[in-house]
Structure 1
């Protein structure tokens, strides 16, 4: 426990620094947009209706969805910029997170600015006009000072919202305190989850308190409170950003960026690849917890240099193929079509398959006489199906439903770790398991056979980005991994990270595979 706590604290300065940088930038940008818009809305009922309606509509979109939506939009714009100016910009990480969080921060500022200005006593405004003040003078000398406490209350709300929502920037490749939470939930590292939640909550409380001092200083015309709050924010911002500046000067630009999706096996394989490069003297950055679609797009755009994906996922989700011509034909088809379409190089299969497979508790399967998906179809109306967060929207699930006519009593989604817990606690009767998961053997689960071949093969393969296709250093470091990992070794490494007792870090599990 102490070792895990020490490991979590070791990366806290970097993650906290990026979290502060992202939140502060979004809040400042949101304030710069929403404050003038709120003042203008106070003077125009029509604009007020449109502005508040638009900002309110943004709030109805789940923050994680908004973050994910910005990535493909920015990727398209980056491609256009590269064609026009000869150089694009990074669509992964900070920029999509900044834009999404800016939109999220605007509503409370906009609403309070409009309410604060429009709520000023008309007699005060008329008196200002009577003494000959221009519109600009009236705004700066009368309306804004009187509305400032209400506006600051909106800024405080926006700050807390933004700091909380910034934890969700992890799946689009932005380092933040959310890294603790996403990785910790997947690997059941509750120390990491606790550190991430505590740091995020603590940051929000401190920022809210300092903004509260500024608000009180404005309301009471107390310069000392105002200066204390402002100085506290400035000192805190500099202290949080200092480790990032020091790290950037010390390390420079990383030579390679290795990506990973958001589950234990991906963390382990990313560490395995990064470790081989680092032993060759290269500097490496890890971009983990990427969404499945985001990971491939980032690779094709050169935002990450290499990561591991699975042949069935690429076949069905990237190439949109619905047929299943067999393992070797799928691999050859992927190698040819990915390179022709996107310039992506399929370097080598690692030697094991991580297939989607429907799994049941052995006692439950035997009691119902279920051994295959065909057997399951007859019992499905009385059973609950549990899937990971994306399984029911994937084409593989549609193919299984079509092939076997599956109709379950209920379908429930779980974070992958909790999906196995749901099977254990009987909240689900069947789950979408992964064949290389060590918990299958540890929990004595039965994988149902697929006699109609609805699911494609899922060989783990290393993909290399177009910009690194000719990079000998990268290719020579990663190519020896081809065929070097069998499914038993991968199951053991996965279980070493996922188990409750004697839990290992992904880097330690990667060392098990490197032996």
Structure 2
């Protein structure tokens, strides 16, 4: 069996089970909220208008934005809870609207007839109105099911495990089989749940008790099988690594350590590298991949993750809101002190390489336009299209570069990092924001432009430890040997192995670990 396929298949139980639980919990909560509210609103036109307007406003918020908003609203919490609340809110509109429409669409004569034979309000609701409105309500529930199952794939950036893990990781590492797995199984789950609801409607309408029991048992087994084993596979205790003290291993053995990482190849590799070191020391590791920059920092600050790798320039500009230029050592020193004093976050040290934001062009463009530095772009700014990842154009690095080098007339175009380098190579954009340790710079024959005015800050990779984890013995001892152990060339080669050779992040991490051991 193909190794890539086998690895994706091995991940399926964890991702699919988490996706089922998240989707089903959000749908059940949406039903519990929406149907009683819809029953009350159907009898009160003003309440109906107000509730539908509120639900419609929530529905207009893009799913990823709604999920991301839950993190700061919940005090930096990531994982299941923010995803559950966002998806529950997302499910409300179709169920609520169809409940109101279904009940309001019942002929007045039917209600009068029910009153005429002496039925109470409760009896009319349960024996006449809800059965008649059921097809419309179920149609709304089926719509909500498809929406929620689809939107749950977007829960990955807020730290909730789902089939979206396949999609986000696959896009960043150019693993199209992984993307296909996420899409196919998410669509399959939506179809299965949609048809289960349809069968329940048929069983209720035709009073087919056996069919209803069968579908109910199927759904119960599906949820039970998803809850039981697998949100996170158990970490495996390892042996004492060469050069490590038995005391350090004993201190961390048996502990659970949550590693965070952002949504690009280098972060997956470094997350896998830390996982290897911690599991060798006997820790059980939980991974929270594909986090945004601010979400990762907030999660570290609140203790939702224990450790992750960030970059000095990112903390300086995005978290500390410092825009003035600073040298490498001053930035590292001030950043470390600020993190400890303000948040109790420990900066364990620099890994030894810098992954800076840079601006790159194709070699053909560079030669044709005579462009070697950012200064050279100002004369042609009005004709430029600058491509960047969705985050960069909201960051101070871009605004400072734009203002200092006179690029205000350039058009900007956001796209996923997966497609940036090929877009520059193919001439679809003129300039891109590139990561300087990315192996695709050489692979796509791109030229990184000089920054003669020193606008772009240093981006030394650093290990950050949460306030809670900083107090736990053994973690620093397990990860300490990584400090100063990875140079630019090693990181660039590890990235190239994944992005261009099709290796997995875990495979690249193993290669990197061996290289460190040989030093």
The correspondence of residues 227-376 of structure 1 with structure 2, limited to 5 A, is: 227-244=213-230, 255-376=256-377
Q: Which moved more, 1:399-408 or 1:432-441?
A: 399-408
CA deviations 1:243-292 (Å, max 9, x no partner) are 33895799999610111000000000011111101001111111110111
Which residue of structure 2 lines up, in the alignment, with residue 72 of structure 1? 72
Q: Does 1:120 align with 2:120?
A: no
Which residue of structure 1 lines up, in the alignment, with residue 42 of structure 2? 42
CA contact (8 A) 2:236 2:282 kept: no
Q: Does 1:410 align with 2:411?
A: yes
CA contact (8 A) 1:373 1:450 kept: yes
Which residue of structure 1 lines up, in the alignment, with residue 483 of structure 2? 482
CA contact (8 A) 1:23 1:166 kept: yes
CA contact (8 A) 1:384 1:408 kept: no
CA contact (8 A) 2:236 2:283 kept: no
Q: Provide the C-alpha distance between the structure 1 equivalents of 2:363 and 2:255, rounded to a whole number of angstroms.
A: 47
CA apart distance, 1:135: 1.2
CA contact (8 A) 2:18 2:162 kept: yes
Q: Provide the C-alpha distance between the structure 2 equivalents of 1:92 and 1:339, rounded to a whole number of angstroms.
A: 22
Distance 1:286 1:224, change over 3 A: same
CA apart distance, 1:240: 2.9
CA apart distance, 1:222: 3.3
Which residue of structure 1 lines up, in the alignment, with residue 249 of structure 2? none
CA apart distance, 1:227: 3.0
Gaps of 5+ in 1: 77-90
CA deviations 1:111-141 (Å, max 9, x no partner) are 1100111111111111111122221121112
Distance 1:250 1:103, change over 3 A: farther
CA apart distance, 1:97: 0.3
Which residue of structure 1 lines up, in the alignment, with residue 241 of structure 2? none
CA contact (8 A) 2:425 2:445 kept: no
Q: Which moved more, 1:243-252 or 1:462-471?
A: 243-252
CA contact (8 A) 1:389 1:413 kept: yes
CA contact (8 A) 2:260 2:305 kept: yes
* Equivalent residue pairs, number: 499
Q: CA RMSD in A?
A: 1.8
CA deviations 1:439-492 (Å, max 9, x no partner) are 112222111111111111100011011112233310011111111111011000
CA contact (8 A) 2:161 2:231 kept: no
Q: Provide the C-alpha distance between the structure 1 equivalents of 2:440 and 2:255, rounded to a whole number of angstroms.
A: 35
Give the ranges of 4+ consecutive aligned residues of structure 1 lying more than 4 Å apart after TM superposition.
245-254
Q: Which moved more, 1:173-182 or 1:473-482?
A: 473-482
The correspondence of residues 90-109 of structure 1 with structure 2, limited to 5 A, is: 91-109=77-95
Structure 2 length as normaliser, TM-score?
0.93
Q: Secondary structure at the match of 2:228?
A: helix
Which residue of structure 2 lines up, in the alignment, with residue 401 of structure 1? 402
Q: Provide the C-alpha distance between the structure 1 equivalents of 2:200 and 2:8, rounded to a whole number of angstroms.
A: 33
Which residue of structure 1 lines up, in the alignment, with residue 473 of structure 2? 472
CA apart distance, 1:41: 1.2
Distance 1:318 1:71, change over 3 A: same
CA contact (8 A) 2:355 2:437 kept: yes
CA deviations 1:315-353 (Å, max 9, x no partner) are 000100011121110000001111100111111111110
Q: Provide the C-alpha distance between the structure 2 equivalents of 1:248 and 1:125, rounded to a whole number of angstroms.
A: 58
Q: Provide the C-alpha distance between the structure 1 equivalents of 2:364 and 2:107, rounded to a whole number of angstroms.
A: 74
Which residue of structure 2 lines up, in the alignment, with residue 377 of structure 1? 378
Q: Provide the C-alpha distance between the structure 2 equivalents of 1:409 and 1:246, rounded to a whole number of angstroms.
A: 46
Q: Secondary structure at the match of 2:433?
A: strand
Match of 2:194 among 208, 221, 225: 208
Q: Provide the C-alpha distance between the structure 2 equivalents of 1:423 and 1:20, rounded to a whole number of angstroms.
A: 39
Q: Which moved more, 1:160-169 or 1:243-252?
A: 243-252
CA contact (8 A) 2:387 2:413 kept: yes
Q: Does 1:12 align with 2:12?
A: yes
Q: Which moved more, 1:407-416 or 1:279-288?
A: 407-416
Q: Provide the C-alpha distance between the structure 2 equivalents of 1:156 and 1:361, rounded to a whole number of angstroms.
A: 48
Q: Provide the C-alpha distance between the structure 1 equivalents of 2:14 and 2:513, rounded to a whole number of angstroms.
A: 28
Structure 1 length as normaliser, TM-score?
0.94
Gaps of 5+ in 2: 238-252, 515-519
Q: Provide the C-alpha distance between the structure 2 equivalents of 1:402 and 1:279, rounded to a whole number of angstroms.
A: 48
